[in-house]
Structure 1
């Protein structure tokens, strides 16, 4: 079994939500577990913490995109639901990095990769992504890297 601390934490949160009869929280936690199980069955692997973080990060991004679409469509009640789900998922992510920490990671990655042009952005992102996954908005990071390499 892969050593994962996040999956047991989420399992315990499910139990607590059941005991407290928190239906919305329970539904979101079960949705998270279902996604983990789907990936494990499809790929025949046991998820480790790094992969769990990537999945949670993707789920939050999906919720934010949906929230924006619902707001644009004039459906504030659905946008609010997406926001609540994103907040529950975010509880299991590590603390977010500050702008200065992200800048330092990007600067180090650019020097490590020896990148000097936008064509080498992939090399830099390959170094940056594992360090920032789940702790920062990858879209913003990508923009920052692109600006630095331009």
Structure 2
């Protein structure tokens, strides 16, 4: 079952359960996916493209979460945390730190990177491997750590 199909099924369940929060988040994600499909000139997105949209939505919320925390808006912080949790249900299981370290070190060996000057080369090779499974900032920190 694709992410879009799961979203459609969960939307029906949320409607029947009158779960307004979950329903709103699911509708928003489906809308974002439709907009992405229109932008790409397609009817349906691939699994990878759906993951990209989901990851982007989670990242936007995490960024907003930081800003709301700094502004002291606790009411909005709790809402955003709930939305992030709902979105995380549709993302693949996240990599642990050890798994991420392994992927990064294998990739460094594959591309024969030797120092920080090879950062871009390593990042461009790692990101497709961990798409949807790890946050870009985590990957960046790990690559920096291993290239130092």
TM bracket (short chain)? over 0.9
CA deviations over 1:50-101 (Å, ceiling 9, x no partner):
1111211111111111111111111101111111111100000111111111
Match of 1:146 in 2: 144
Matches of residues 1-150 of structure 1 in structure 2 within 5 Å?
5-45=2-42, 46-150=44-148
For residues 120 and 4 of structure 2, the distance between their equivalents in structure 1, rounded to whole angstroms, comes to 30
Count of paired positions: 147
Q: What secondary structure is seen at the aligned counterpart in 2 of 1:135?
A: coil
Q: CA deviation at 1:144?
A: 1.1
Q: CA deviation at 1:132?
A: 1.3
Q: CA deviation at 1:110?
A: 0.4
Residue pair 2:68, 2:74 contacting (<8 A) in 1 also:
yes
Q: RMSD in angstroms over aligned alpha carbons? A: 1.2
Give unpaired runs (5+ residues) of structure 1.
none
4+ residue runs over 6 A deviation = none
Give the stretch that moved more between structures: 43-52 or 33-42: 43-52
Give unpaired runs (5+ residues) of structure 2.
none
TM-score normalized by the length of structure 1: 0.93
For residues 14 and 55 of structure 2, the distance between their equivalents in structure 1, rounded to whole angstroms, comes to 22
